Structure 1
Amino acid sequence: MEGRRITASPRPCSGRRVVAKKRPRGGLDGFVNSVKKLQRREISSKRDRSFSMSDAQERFRNIRLQEEYDTLDPKGYCPLSLPFFKKRSKIIEIVAAHDIVFALAQSGICAAFSRETNERICFLNVGPDEVIRSLFYNKNNDSLITVSVYASDNFSSLKCRTTRIEYIRRAQPDAGFALFESESLKWPGFVEFDDVNGKVLTYSAQDSIYKVFDLKNYTMLYSISDKNVQEIKISPGIMLLIFMKTHGSVPLKILSIEDGTVLKSFSHLLHRNKKVDFIEQFNEKLLVEQENENLQILDVRTSELTEVSRTEFMTPSAFIFLYENQLFLTFRNRTVAVWNFRGELVTSFEDHLLWHHDCNTNNIYITSDQDLIISYCKAESDEPISDGNVGSINISNILTGKCLAKINASNTLPMGECSCSASCGGRNCNSKKRIKASRIRSTMAEALEDITALFYDEERNEIYTGNRLGLVHVWSN
């Protein structure tokens, strides 16, 4: 669902900036050709996006716990050599492609499960010392890219490998091939996958060179070699180069993502001796905020500047840009808000207090139509089970902030509905009982305890969650 940047840090890194993928509408005048290419690439035969609240509620009606997968063999057996692979570890990432669910544990072990047979297909770790750091499904060639580090290299360099989904389905994860072998991706190097533009950005810290590759065939398109580049931000059709501060301003360049052509060069004035909290780019809009200063929204086409009071816009811990709706989400202190580019608050969410303090999009999902947000949330205080480590999965409308459906330990049906003849509102249903299925050992409450990763499969209308024990649960109707 996002442009994902993986650093060569010994530990997984979740970046501040996350992109909600969707075809954009418009952009800078000079970017029209790039945007048209992007629109053509993104056009599909998806259903009409104008869902009402009742339609969304219907999609999640009767959703309940259906399956349980375990990334660790119950007998403790693991074919891989590293000792921490044999211990339970929390799920940090879930990706689904067609009928396969991929679950990555913090230990670095990654398993693939079939939704058709409900069996584990294989582990994706090819080498005995391979620790997988992140996953990326490449829809351009129906393959899964794994980003790994290795014990033999002291876990210091990122290595990428692509494997077609059909090989994984045949339990042949070693049938893939390595990517970007010429690049030295040691810390602070990184690789970033940009699904919107169909590009890959790599940074080799060893020689301070950024390179852009085509996500379809992995050919290198161009490189950027400038030691003064401090950061690169990617938007539909363009890249923003942020340079080192000089004399109270920050030099900026906007490049075409397709060929690296410089479309605009300019500088943005800054307050001297004040830390820059963030600089973000969204099409023609530049968002800049410094410590204890107002948010500035600059239109780089017209140079029009809008300021938002720092008492109204508090510095968020993360953004999600909604390209289809020309809006952006902010995350701060476990709350979510929707803003427009006039600096106006559009939506505050009801009953959507996130469980985790740090915003990690591995436990947040934005639908491709950008109408719904699905998150792991804190249970309300008046719910029967609201203490301990048990939360709920909340489905909310992004434009209205209304909570449309909720999966919690006391009621697995949306908004208090019940399918039983007694219309008990969930009180007499099996949410507190163990499901009578051979592979499901968890109760509803246990499955909703300490959820560490969440993914929604829009094709199958299923939610997959992972927890601290390395278990994956399937929620379906």
Structure 2
Amino acid sequence: MEGVGGSRNRRITMSSSRNNNGGSRPPLCGGRRRVVATKNGGWNNPLLANNTVKKLQRREITSNPHRSAAITKSLHRFRNFRLTEKYDMHDPVGQCSLVLPLLMRRAKVIEIVVVHDIVFALASSGVCAAFGRGTNKTICFLNIYPDEVIRSLFYNKNNDSLITVSVYASDNFSSLKCRSIRIEYIQRGKPDEGFPLFETESLKWPGFVEFDDVNEKVLTFSAQDSIYKVFDLKNYTLLYTIADRQVEEIKISPGIMLLILSRGQSHVPLKILSIEDGTVLKDFNHLLHRNKKVDFIEQFNEKLLVKQDSENLQILDVRNAEVKEVGSTEFMTPSAFIFLYENQLFLTFRNQTVSVWNFRGELVTSFEDHVLSHPDCNTNNIYITSDQDLIVSFCKTDNSQSTATRAGSINISNIWTGKCIAKINSSNAIRLKDEQEESSSNTSQVDVNMVEEALEDITALYFDEEHNEIYTGNSNGLVHVWSN
């Protein structure tokens, strides 16, 4: 799977949203990347804005019958990982401050993407830098205008381009603007040679744009006229529109879309559409408990997951209407999901812990030594490998260990067994410069303090599977590279 942050479909929510039944919908990780316009120009102070980016990660896979061999291979894959390189997004001497004033202050890294030999790092200030992998040099900044705040990145493998989604001070940061930049232009340091996308769409709050890499589609919503539009991700041509003011939410799965319509007293109308042409495949009502808010409604292949406040989780098979219920004490509403479609499994995140479930409602795996460092389950700090067998996360250190350091650890765990197969922490991730490296400008002296500092507050994480390198960003605008 290629794509930003290792995902096929992506939804990023930058502002609070409500579900179709009035309840607060948990930030979902696992299918779509959606960028939502903010209300009343909420980005007029980007440096102070809270990042609520939810990187949604999903890959299409097939079950691997040789899991024991894969685990052994993974052990060698992550052996002797060390801190090897550092990039700095900050402009300490003000060389670029006249062009990009937001560089004058440090800001946390919220997103990292590696495409070919380019490392893209996006800061919460809205500045996006492109570094040459292994060169420690800045190729260019993707911000075309001084008042541009980039909110999100999406790598489109269909045409080898990077899509930026931005807001602008001149527009009070209220409208989303998309731009496509070919990777070859960025390699030449010419990001301004890209071109705008979806110029006819009004993407003011609560409008959004959503990139679906699995189905190779783009979904936009114009709140001005309450119209959804589906575009081809390969060439950005309009395929069809959905003009129904009863539609409260749209969820995308491989091959289909779920339309959630305005709720009745005791039911919610649902429609399942073909993602290719918008044809209605199924139209039905799902019964609800009266006067109870809906925690979430999600569609995953033929399974529909419905959870209401203090009620059992319902897993409905839309083909035959069979319902499986899981007790509310067994399955409590998670704060986020990651769905493994081909394996018919899903991960839930709750109270900084991760669990694996199947669609029979059975708990498959609980992870050991895997307490996430950040309570919001922000998948900026989580990466699922292309085989969907490993999860790479930023975790808290073991409580039994010394509390003298505030540094966390990068944990690599097996999704099938829950075992932690490798860990990068301040005691094992040190690489000192030797005599052969003395003349290299790309390798600097690394000591325990530098490693601890790099692991203190990781705000973004990306695993480059092709080169077997882990990239992390922190609250000081630094990007660190870990490899063996």
Give TM class, smaller chain: 0.7 to 0.9
1:331 alignment partner in structure 2: 349
2:452 alignment partner in structure 1: 445
Q: 2:463 aligns with which of 443, 448, 456?
A: 456
Unaligned runs of 5+ in 1: 26-45, 413-425
Q: 2:59 aligns with which of 12, 18, 21?
A: 21
Query: 1:21–1:195: 8 Å Cα contact kept in structure 2?
Result: no
> Which amino acid in the other structure matches residue 8 of structure 1?
A
Q: 1:246: how far off?
A: 1.1
Does the C-alpha gap of structure 1 residues 50 and 5 become closer, same or farther in structure 2, counting only changes over 3 Å?
A: farther
Q: 1:63: how far off?
A: 1.1
- Aligned partner of residue 446 in structure 1, secondary structure: helix
Unaligned runs of 5+ in 2: 1-6, 11-32, 44-49
- Aligned partner of residue 445 in structure 1, secondary structure: helix
Q: How does 1:184-223 map to 2 (within 5 A)?
A: 184-223=202-241
Query: 1:383–1:410: 8 Å Cα contact kept in structure 2?
Result: no
Query: 1:242–1:252: 8 Å Cα contact kept in structure 2?
Result: yes
1:6 alignment partner in structure 2: 35
> Which amino acid in the other structure matches residue 426 of structure 2?
A
Query: 1:17–1:318: 8 Å Cα contact kept in structure 2?
Result: no
Query: 2:230–2:238: 8 Å Cα contact kept in structure 1?
Result: yes
Q: Distance in 2 between matches of 1:116 and 1:391?
A: 25
Q: 1:18: how far off?
A: 3.0
2:94 alignment partner in structure 1: 76
Query: 1:373–1:397: 8 Å Cα contact kept in structure 2?
Result: yes
Q: 1:139: how far off?
A: 0.9
Q: How does 1:259-278 map to 2 (within 5 A)?
A: 259-278=277-296
- Aligned partner of residue 167 in structure 1, secondary structure: helix
Query: 2:179–2:196: 8 Å Cα contact kept in structure 1?
Result: yes
> Which amino acid in the other structure matches residue 460 of structure 1?
H
Query: 1:395–1:405: 8 Å Cα contact kept in structure 2?
Result: yes
Indicate whether 1:399 and 2:399 are aligned: no
- Aligned partner of residue 101 in structure 1, secondary structure: strand
Query: 1:7–1:13: 8 Å Cα contact kept in structure 2?
Result: no
Indicate whether 1:382 and 2:389 are aligned: no
Q: Distance in 1 between matches of 2:255 and 2:159?
A: 21
2:171 alignment partner in structure 1: 153
Q: 1:285 aligns with which of 303, 311, 314?
A: 303
Which shows bigger deviation, 435-444 or 169-178?
435-444
Query: 1:19–1:322: 8 Å Cα contact kept in structure 2?
Result: no
2:117 alignment partner in structure 1: 99
Indicate whether 1:135 and 2:156 are aligned: no
- Aligned partner of residue 466 in structure 1, secondary structure: strand
Deviations 1:351-397 (A, max 9, x none): 1110000011111000111000000000112334x455310000000
1:56 alignment partner in structure 2: 74
Q: Distance in 2 between matches of 1:17 and 1:274?
A: 29
Q: 1:83: how far off?
A: 3.9
1:416 alignment partner in structure 2: none
- Aligned partner of residue 18 in structure 1, secondary structure: coil
Q: Distance in 1 between matches of 2:54 and 2:129?
A: 27
Query: 2:265–2:291: 8 Å Cα contact kept in structure 1?
Result: no
Q: Distance in 1 between matches of 2:270 and 2:264?
A: 11
Query: 2:160–2:183: 8 Å Cα contact kept in structure 1?
Result: yes
Q: 1:86: how far off?
A: 1.1
1:307 alignment partner in structure 2: 325
Q: 1:78: how far off?
A: 2.2
Query: 1:16–1:317: 8 Å Cα contact kept in structure 2?
Result: no
- Aligned partner of residue 56 in structure 2, secondary structure: strand
> Which amino acid in the other structure matches residue 208 of structure 2?
F
Indicate whether 1:171 and 2:189 are aligned: yes
Q: Distance in 2 between matches of 1:297 and 1:288?
A: 7
Q: Distance in 1 between matches of 2:347 and 2:404?
A: 28
Does the C-alpha gap of structure 1 residues 394 and 203 become closer, same or farther in structure 2, counting only changes over 3 Å?
A: same
Indicate whether 1:369 and 2:387 are aligned: yes
Q: 1:167: how far off?
A: 0.7
Query: 1:334–1:355: 8 Å Cα contact kept in structure 2?
Result: yes
Does the C-alpha gap of structure 1 residues 72 and 17 become closer, same or farther in structure 2, counting only changes over 3 Å?
A: closer
- Aligned partner of residue 302 in structure 1, secondary structure: coil
Does the C-alpha gap of structure 1 residues 241 and 51 become closer, same or farther in structure 2, counting only changes over 3 Å?
A: farther
Query: 1:130–1:150: 8 Å Cα contact kept in structure 2?
Result: yes
Query: 2:97–2:103: 8 Å Cα contact kept in structure 1?
Result: no
Q: 1:117: how far off?
A: 2.5
> Which amino acid in the other structure matches residue 450 of structure 1?
D
Indicate whether 1:65 and 2:83 are aligned: yes
Does the C-alpha gap of structure 1 residues 77 and 401 become closer, same or farther in structure 2, counting only changes over 3 Å?
A: same
Query: 1:339–1:346: 8 Å Cα contact kept in structure 2?
Result: yes
> Which amino acid in the other structure matches residue 456 of structure 1?
F
In the superposition, the TM-score normalised over structure 2's length comes to 0.86
Does the C-alpha gap of structure 1 residues 314 and 116 become closer, same or farther in structure 2, counting only changes over 3 Å?
A: same
> Which amino acid in the other structure matches residue 453 of structure 2?
E
Q: Distance in 1 between matches of 2:55 and 2:35?
A: 12
Q: 2:477 aligns with which of 470, 473, 476?
A: 470
Q: 1:247: how far off?
A: 2.9
Q: Distance in 2 between matches of 1:50 and 1:235?
A: 30
Runs (4+) off by over 4 Å = 11-17, 48-51, 79-82, 435-442
Q: 1:438: how far off?
A: 5.1
Please, what is the CA RMSD of the aligned residues?
A: 2.2
In the superposition, the TM-score normalised over structure 1's length comes to 0.87
Does the C-alpha gap of structure 1 residues 101 and 259 become closer, same or farther in structure 2, counting only changes over 3 Å?
A: same
Q: Distance in 2 between matches of 1:350 and 1:405?
A: 12
> Which amino acid in the other structure matches residue 452 of structure 2?
A
Q: 1:319: how far off?
A: 0.7
Q: How does 1:420-439 map to 2 (within 5 A)?
A: none
Q: Distance in 1 between matches of 2:100 and 2:118?
A: 25
- Aligned partner of residue 20 in structure 1, secondary structure: coil
Does the C-alpha gap of structure 1 residues 340 and 293 become closer, same or farther in structure 2, counting only changes over 3 Å?
A: same
Does the C-alpha gap of structure 1 residues 292 and 17 become closer, same or farther in structure 2, counting only changes over 3 Å?
A: farther
Q: 1:118: how far off?
A: 2.5
Query: 1:392–1:448: 8 Å Cα contact kept in structure 2?
Result: yes
Does the C-alpha gap of structure 1 residues 110 and 176 become closer, same or farther in structure 2, counting only changes over 3 Å?
A: same
